[in-house]
């Protein structure tokens, strides 16, 4: 059900230990807010906007983000398992992740240029046909993550690990790798390198 009502604005507020799990949050706009230890697990956050917000030690596992705006949002120490970022509002779409678990999430076909993933677990994440240009995967685990038709120009993988990327199936001009982590580019050849 669509509403023409003005969204309820929350500005410069801090929310601590709030349990939104399996609840629907509607028609809200959060600007420069901080969320600490809040639970959004399986929440329906459709159509809400979060701008210049910080989430610390929050749970977003299986949250529904259809039409949700995430602009200049920082996630730190959050659990964001199985989230479909392809459904977010693409006009409000910029964020960074620090020490987060994003396992089993999907960014299929999404433009996430210049995104920082620092000390994150990105196991089984789908980056197929995604534009990761200029993004940084610092000390992040990419075990089982999918890269196919992905744009990774100037993307920094120097300290990333457990990735398997086929250079022939992706655009990787000027992508950065360290000499000790190049094996992830050779997986399709099934080589035995010592």
**5, two tokens:** 């009502």
**pLDDT at res. 126:** 98
Do residues 119 and 143 lie in contact, with contact meaning Cβ atoms separated by under 8 Å? no
Q: Can you identify the CATH homologous superfamily of domain 71-194?
A: E3 ubiquitin-protein ligase SopA (2.160.20.80)
pTM of the model: 0.91
Burial (0-12, 13-18, 19+ Cβ within 10 Å), 61: buried
pLDDT at 2: 47
**C-alpha–C-alpha distance, residues 32 and 44, integer Å:** 21
Q: What is the H or E stretch that residue 73 is in?
A: strand 69-76
- Residue 3: CB atoms within 10 Å: 9
Q: Alpha-carbon distance 75 to 45, whole Å? A: 16
Give residue-wise pLDDT tens across range 168-181.
999 999 999 998 88
Residue 123 contacts residue 145 (beta carbons within 8 Å): yes
Mean pLDDT by 10 residues, the chain (194 residues): 73 97 94 98 96 98 96 97 94 91 97 95 98 97 97 97 94 93 72 57
Contacts of 35 (CB under 8 A, 6+ apart): 14, 15, 16, 18, 53, 54, 55, 56, 58
pLDDT for res 1: 42
């Amino acid at each position: 059900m669509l509403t023409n009502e003005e969204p309820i604005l929350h500005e410069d507020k801090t929310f601590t230990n709030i349990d939104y799990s399996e609840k629907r949050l509607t028609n809200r706009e959060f600007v420069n807010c901080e969320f600490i230890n809040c639970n959004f697990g399986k929440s329906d956050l459709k159509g809400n906007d979060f701008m210049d917000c910080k989430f610390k030690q929050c749970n977003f596992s299986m949250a529904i983000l259809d039409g949700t705006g995430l602009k200049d949002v920082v996630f730190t120490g959050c659990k964001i398992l199985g989230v479909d970022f392809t459904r977010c509002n693409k006009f409000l779409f910029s964020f960074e992740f620090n020490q987060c678990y994003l396992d089993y999430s999907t960014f299929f076909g999404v433009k996430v240029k210049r995104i920082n993933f620092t000390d994150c677990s990105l196991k089984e994440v789908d980056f197929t046909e995604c534009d990761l240009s200029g993004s940084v995967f610092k000390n992040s685990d990419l075990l089982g993550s999918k890269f196919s038709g992905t744009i990774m120009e100037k993307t920094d993988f120097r300290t990333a690990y457990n990735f398997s990327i086929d250079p022939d199936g992706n655009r990787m001009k000027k992508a950065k790798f360290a000499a000790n982590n190049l094996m992830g580019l050779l997986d399709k050849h099934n080589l035995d390198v010592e």
